[in-house]
Amino acid sequence: MNELSSLDFAILRAEFTTDSNHTERDRYAVEKDGITAKQQHVRDTIEELRVQLVQAKETLMVRKLYDELAEKITSSKMLKPRDEQALAHAKLDEEIAELEHQVKSAKDTWSERRTQFGRIEDATREMLRLIKDEKEEAERKEGMMKDGDEEGEGEGSTSRGDGSRVGTPRPDGGMTPVHVSQTAETSSSLKVPPKDRLHPLSREASPVPSPARSGVVEDAEMADSGVVEEGKDDDSSGLEEGEDVEDGEDDGEKSAVRMDES
């Protein structure tokens, strides 16, 4: 009887122990799920807090930088009160307005100078045109003078051809021919240029007598004497006189051209 009771007691004890173990296992499983959920929640919270910590650190660094800048600004001796800063700003505005006015004045001056330069350029071109016209006119006059000189030389050559018979008695007993330069109108037979052309070479103010005039007087005296040999010499002297006059004409033309060009 004792053995049966002890067996029953052992079986009951095993049953109670098994039931208790199952109950505890269920409770442990439930607690395990709760603990796991809490653990996951804590992990998520830690991650969020870590992100917030990084952001807070960055904000702190920025604030420290701002604090340092503010400390430098507030502690700087170069800073002035707002009233003085407002006056300085007004002064700068006035200087800017003045500079803008100067720029506008410079633009107006530049445009005016450009206009003046254009006028000067037009006047210069007109002056060059006038100088060119005067030069062409002088060249035209010089050509006309040269043509007149050539015509005078042609007439002189014809008269010189007839001069070979001067001083030779004619067979009919007439008067002996006299050279044209030996007459009283010798000056009219030679082609003398106008007085204004030979004005630069004029000898009116010179105390030395002109060789051309002396040659004319000698020709007149030779005409009165009627000597053939002296008439021939006068012919050569008259030719030399004509050549001197022509040289004077050339010199007068050159000086007149120079005066026109100047």
**Alpha-carbon span 198 to 191, nearest angstrom:** 13
Map tokens 């010199």 to a residue.
251
Q: For residue 245, how far is the Cα from the chain centroid? A: 53
Q: What is the pLDDT of residues 22-66, one digit of tens each?
A: 999 999 999 999 999 999 999 999 999 999 999 999 999 999 999
pLDDT of residue 157: 52
Map tokens 């960055």 to a residue.
58
Global pTM value: 0.27
pLDDT of residue 145: 82
**Alpha-carbon span 76 to 211, nearest angstrom:** 106
- The tokens describing 75, both together, are 């502690």
Helices and strands, number each (H, E), in the chain: 5, 0
Pick from 163, 145, 153: nearest CA to 228: 163
Radius of gyration of the chain (CA): 68
Low-confidence ranges of the chain (pLDDT < 70): 1, 152-262
